[in-house]
Copies of this chain bind each other. A is one copy, B any other.
Amino acid sequence: MSNPFFINCGPFNISEIFDTLKIKTKLNKNQIVKDIKDLFSAEKDCITFFHKKKYNEIAKKTKASYCITTQNLKDYLPKNCTPIVVENVLISTSLVTQKFYPNSIEDEYDASAVDIKDTTLKDIVIAGKNVLVGDNVTIGKNCFIGHNSIIERNVQIGDNCKIGSNTILRNSVIKDNVTVLDNCVIGKKGFGFFPSKNKNMRYAHIGIVIINENSEIGCGSTIDRGSLSNTEIGKNTFLDNQIHIAHNVKIGENTIIAGQVGIAGSSIIGNNVKIGGQAGISGHLRVGNNVEIGGGSGVIKDIPDNTKVMGYPAKSIREFLKNNR
């Protein structure tokens, strides 16, 4: 993933990374590590991580030079990739990600933001009162931004977009013809941390939010950015009010999501999906294409293509209605 938002503080010497992980080693201390990426996108001189056996086919082909992993999994890695064996892969990965991207942990407000009237964007954008924009924001032609909205640093907005009032955008790429209505917060860090007595340990969120062409986001919705991958809304997908989309979620094209729906972290929703109001989808699931999910449903397992489900837990809608006559 290219990362337009968070500054990579690397490269680091591998010895510095071992220091971060409190590992003593005899490995060559002059080797350089450029970045941290997932197994699939990591290149030579990158570090990656591998924590579940189900990713072994991807692990076998990784181009990374180093991989944070466990004793049990290390033998899946190819010769070009030196395993770094740790007790808890996710915590160690988090520590290394923080080293590369220290500014991605917390979400302080963007102190670079100034009134759009005091920037050159004032001649391009039709903006309300008290609109703030941060450094390095780009906005296309024919865009509207409502009163009191805040476009934080680095956000990219395409042509013909409508941003409502009291809305906050950060760490996001908004494509052409997108509407984001009032009181939304798009692009804050996800709800991700390692629980720890007295002081939880937040982890880095270097993913962004991408909202593709022709989509609409309803009032009061929140879309969190990803941790190591992006959160993405497909083309021509419409979200109603008060929807919550957690980190790393991917939603396909032409999908319709009614009010107060929540989608937990890392789930993947297909194209042409319809989700009724107040439905919830658990994390790390896959909802196929052309699926219909009834209002109020609680989805706790994968849903294959072309099916209609309803209930809590969600099952075939025919079965739901039969059981509930």
Contact = CB atoms under 8 A, between A and B. Distances in A.
Contacts of A224: 241
A57 interface: no
A73 interface: no
B258 A191 contact: yes
B107 A181 contact: yes
Contacts of A311: 312
A109 B277 contact: no
Overall SS of chain A's interface? loop
Nearest to A274: B195
A214 B241 CA distance: 26
Interface string A156-188: 000000101110100000000001011101001
Nearest to A244: B259
Contact of A109 (B147, B183, B191, B240): B147
A282 B147 CA distance: 33
A129 B115 contact: yes
Contacts of A166: 148, 150, 166, 168, 183
A260 B200 CA distance: 21
Interface in A251-270: 254, 256, 258-260, 262, 264
B200 A236 contact: yes
Interface of A: 106-111, 113-115, 126, 128-130, 132, 144-148, 150, 162, 164-166, 168, 179, 181-183, 185, 188, 191, 193, 195, 197-200, 214, 216, 218-220, 222, 224, 235-236, 238, 240-242, 244, 246, 254, 256, 258-260, 262, 264, 276-278, 280, 282, 295-296, 298, 300, 311-313, 315, 324
Contacts of A188: 181-182, 219
6 contacts: A191-B240, A198-B254, A220-B220, A240-B246, A259-B264, A260-B260
Contact of A259 (B146, B185, B262, B296): B262
